[in-house]
Structure 1
Amino acid sequence: MTSFQDELLPATRRALLHRIAVAQAEGRAPSLVAAVVRDGRTVWHGSRTSLEGQVPDESVQYRIGSITKTFTAVLVLRLRDEGVVDLGDPLEKHLPGTGVGEATIAGLLAHTGGLAAESPAPWWERTPGSLRPRLGDVLGEQPLRHPVGRRFHYSNPGYALLGALVEEVRGASWEEVLRHEVLEPLGLQRTSCRPQAPHAGGWAVHPWADVMLSEPAEDLGRMASAGQLWSTTGDLARFAVFLARGDERVLSAESVAEMRMPAAPAEAADVVDGSAYGLGLQLERRDGRLLAGHSGSLPGFLAGLALSVEDDVAAVVLANCTSGPSTFTVAADLIGVVAEAEPRIPEPWRPLPDVDRSVLELAGQWYWGTQGFVLRLTADGGVSLDPMSGVGRRSRLRSNGDGTWTGLDGYYAGELLKAVRRPDGSVSHLDLGSFVFTRQPYDERAPVPGGVDPEGWSGIR
């Protein structure tokens, strides 16, 4: 077994091994394999197995189920970045005749399209895709369960529609487009729609006895874009690096960051420490750490991929059992082990190579009414706005190159910040989405909406 173990401290390696050993034993998985990525490289690989003579390594394929959805989402974001589709487009604009065409592309990506969770019987995960040759067979007579755009409701048929959208726009099969546009550029040579040796077999473990039953491995047909793929810890580790950093051959860093932004909340019953759904990615906050990734399951297999951009650590966990260990939870725990035992070493502080003096003069304290904020210049040429007290709206803003900035996150995402100057060139105030920020609370020299009491500040009158 290749381990790359010289990258981590011995105590960290043992803690990782202990976590997957507990997961495999308590989850009664025939085999469980895991990988950890740090700083863009696989630094640890481990496996536990109860099958004699079968020790899975980073090249053994397992079925990854709904992690397939993240791959499909990447294909859709590529169409958006090329200007072929807009995420706000109704499906009908590009894929007419489905009966659910009012659902938007973004809604399907974020599971807010109102579609049913599953296709009509028989259970699509355990029966041949040939039983559902048309989209109508996937959607059924009543494809909607909720008003479009009203709530988060996880939908496998929704991702079947996105796969069909890709095929319609590209004029090729989803599998062919995926291979050409994602798998080959990222070097994911062991990710495929059908199993390729060496691969694990899928098993069901009896809930009340330590015996197993072989599970069928069906070709999902029209549902392939929701859960068809087979992959390895080696390939998924590389995919996790891509989801954290982007790759201009596939998607930019900005676009994968957009995938990691919340687009829909989780159901209230599912929220433990805070969770949501982005564009093809599950988002969870565990122990104060924001994780992005996806879980996956198909009869005989469980899969989990999680990454923490802040810690620059990712983990992949695969098992070959229908039910058992929570692979996403195990992946999250592996990230926690590394991040806490060997915290990321920050880059050394370096002064900016140059600074625009007209921007530098904007740095410092500002007030929105009576609430204090601090504007800071960031190393990437943008600015950040943070409350002085630590409580309040905060945002990072990118420079537009013309003396204005656009919000990247938080309340001010998409809003425009500009410095308003007096005729003599001095700064009067900042305008951020119509909010007036002044150097002093309710500065009488600035055009504060509603005006400022001419009697000024005073005690009780």
Structure 2
Amino acid sequence: MTTSEEELLPTTRRALLHRVAVAQVEGRAPSLVAAVVRGGRTVWHGARSCVDGNAPDDNVQYRIGSITKTFTAILVMRLRDEGVLDLGDPLEKHLPGTGVGEATIADLLAHTGGLAAESPGPWWERTPGTLRPELADVLGERPLRHPVGRRFHYSNPGYTVLGALVEELRGARWEEVLRREVLEPLGMHRTSTRPQAPHAGGWAVHPWADAMLPEPAEDLGRMAPAGQLWSTTGDLARFAAFLSQGDDRVLSTGSLLEMRTPTAPPETVDVAAGYAYCLGLEVRRSGGRLLVGHTGSLPGFLACLTISVEDDVAAVVLANCTSGPLVSAVGADLVRIVAEAEPRIPVPWRPLREVDASVLELAGQWYWGTHGFALRFTADGLASLEPLSGTGRRSRFSANGDGTWTGLEGYYAGELLRVVRRPNGSVSHLDVGSFVFTRQPYDEDAPVPGGVDPEGWRGIG
């Protein structure tokens, strides 16, 4: 991936640098480095450091903490796409004897498996992984804190279990599988499980004095799939482009869409904050913009990767301090600055290549009861059913090749749209998941459930 800063206006580049500079000062970070991606390419890179003339470039490694979980989730989704497992499978089917085998693969990906948030024993992020050599040491004697599948409860041990699952089904170490199946195909040669020069040192900054303390950089051992990785803004920019656009060598766009679809029932506090967890990715709402990605932290480091798919803008922010700059807010601001200053120019509208008369006759206005809907057919081959009021149930549908259509999103996701014709071949109505859509409200010539009063519409008199 090449860097092409001339694609952004000078005023935009200055606004991005200003935001990074303010974050480094107000967050009292020894260094802070960031990148912006648009159209699958890095279009801006900026950094600030407490050491004059030594601002890190896009090749300097930082620890990325829980962004590692997204990589682990991709390995699991690859196994699903190959038919090795199903997300609905209980863990026990593939990795018996853990004590948490009732949880499904999807539960573990979405943090709804009921597992504890942390591993028992001393603070695992600041102690060597040799203290937890086996999976049983990570899970402890009481691994569950909640009923399986009932609530979202972020769990680091849950992703350790998923890493062990990958090792069991691939017959190789997690880091080897990751290197072979994700990092090498995406050209992420500066992402590793252990630091490789040049890399930043991790620091704790005293909360009440401008003084610093070095943090230990422990090998997390069994906990590696939850937070071990080191990476660079250059590599994470490549990763952001992949998460936005897909790469069939690693994972299809369809599977990536599934990964960024919320699955976990959020806590009340998360609903208020506009936060939801998906399958290894987080979704946040910021200033009316939907952002998908992940954050990460380990002693000495903070990290954020965030993407606005609609705006086709992503941001990566890395800092080498235990606490300080709110990197998720910085990332959201970098996306906002570019999206608002230089909004995405849409591709030209183009008509359908071929017009199918049997499909065209379905286009237009339909009614479910008295609710008006518009059915449109677009050049991408999809059908779109939208309420005329602008609010309510809407969904796009993909053609199945037999005259039926399957819902892709919203209330009708997975539901079938079927065209019902009369004996003479004319269209009677649409059946959408058993709902009858007619050309007129409560059309007396269509089989409306419950029937239509034979006296028809009337006034109050």
| CA displacement, residues 296-334 of structure 1 (integer Å, 9 cap, x when unaligned) | 000000000000110000000000000011111111110
Which letter does structure 2 place at the counterpart of 1:91? L
Correspondence for 1:449: 449
| 2:385 aligned counterpart, secondary structure | strand
1:249 to 2:286 alignment: no
Residue 452 of structure 1: how far off its partner (Å): 0.8
Q: How does 1:125-136 map to 2 (within 5 A)?
A: 125-136=125-136
**Per the alignment, in what secondary structure is the counterpart of residue 184 of structure 2?**
helix
Does 2:339 match 1:342?
no
Which residue pairs with 1:29 in the alignment?
29
1:209 — aligned with what?
209
- Counterpart residue identity of residue 420, structure 1: V
> Is the CA contact (8 Å cut-off) linking 2:408 and 2:414 kept in structure 1?
yes
Contact 1:36–1:43 at 8 Å: present in 2 too?
yes
Q: Which residue of 2 aligns with 1:176?
A: 176
Q: Which residue of 2 aligns with 1:399?
A: 399
Distance in 1 of aligned mates of 2:104 and 2:413: 21
Task: Judge conservation of contact 2:37–2:314 (CA < 8 Å) in 1.
Answer: yes
SS at match of 1:264: coil
Task: State yes or no: 1:352 paired with 2:338.
Answer: no
| 1:44-55 paired onto structure 2 within 5 Å | 44-55=44-55
Query: Contact 1:3 / 1:46 at 8 angstroms: preserved in 2?
Result: no
Once the two structures are TM-superposed, the CA of residue 288 in structure 1 deviates from its matched residue by 1.2
Answer yes or no: is 1:291 the counterpart of 2:291.
yes
Per-residue CA deviations over 1:69-102 (Å, capped at 9, x if unaligned) read: 0000000000000011000000000000000000
The amino acid of 2:110's aligned partner reads A
- One-letter identity of the residue aligned with 1:121: G
Inter-partner Cα distance in structure 1 for 2:3 and 2:450: 66
Match of 1:387 in 2: 387
State the shift of 1:356 in Å. Answer: 1.5
Identity of aligned residues (%): 79
Does the CA-based 8 Å contact 1:28-1:324 persist in structure 2? Answer: yes
Structure 2 SS opposite 1:423: coil
User: Would you say 1:192 and 2:192 are equivalent positions?
Assistant: yes
Report if aligned partners of 1:193, 1:228 keep a CA contact under 8 Å in 2: yes
Structure 1: gaps spanning 5 or more residues: none
Q: CA RMSD in A?
A: 1.0
Residue 378 of structure 1 and its aligned partner are, at CA, apart by: 2.0
Q: How does 1:3-402 map to 2 (within 5 A)?
A: 4-402=4-402
Q: 1:3 to 1:400 in 2, by over 3 A?
A: closer
Counterpart Cα distance in 2 of 1:459 and 1:181: 68
1:285 deviates by 1.2
Preserved contact between residue 265 and residue 275 of structure 1 (Cα < 8 Å): no
Distance 2:18 2:426 in 1: 62
TM-score, normalising length: structure 1: 0.98
Q: Which amino acid aligns with 1:357?
A: A
Q: What's the CA shift string for 1:179-205, capped at 9, x where partnerless?
A: 000000000000000000000000000
1:358 counterpart letter in structure 2: S
CA contact under 8 A between 2:3 and 2:41: conserved in structure 1? no
* Conservation of the 8 A alpha-carbon contact between 1:185 and 1:249: yes
Give, in whole Å, the separation in 2 of the partners of 1:122 and 1:338: 43
Secondary structure of the residue aligned to 1:66 is: helix
8 Å contact kept, 1:397–1:406: yes
Per-residue CA shift, 1:39-77, capped at 9, x if unaligned? 111000000000245320001000000000000000000
Greater shift, 394-403 or 126-135, is seen at 394-403
**Unpaired segments ≥5 residues, structure 2:** none
For residues 236 and 357 of structure 1, the distance between their equivalents in structure 2, rounded to whole angstroms, comes to 47
Amino acid corresponding to residue 355 of structure 1 in structure 2:
V
SS in structure 2 at match of 1:186:
coil
1:103-159 CA-partner distances (Å, limit 9, x unpaired): 000011011111110000211100000110111111111111110000000000000
Partner Cα separation in structure 2 for residue 372 and residue 14 of structure 1: 48
- Using the TM superposition, give the Cα deviation of residue 273 of structure 1 relative to its aligned residue in structure 2, in angstroms: 4.6
In structure 2, the residue corresponding to 1:185 is in which secondary structure? coil
Structure 2 Cα separation of the partners of residues 190 and 328 of structure 1: 23
Specify the code of the residue in structure 2 equivalent to 1:107. D
Conserved 8 A contact 1:62-1:199: yes
Q: What residue number does 1:427 align with?
A: 427
Distance (Å, rounded) in 2 between the aligned partners of 1:273 and 1:116: 23
Change (3 A) 1:301 1:102: same
Q: Is the 8 A contact 1:273 1:287 kept in 2?
A: no
* 2-structure distance, mates of 1:234, 1:41: 10
TM-score (normalised: structure 2): 0.98
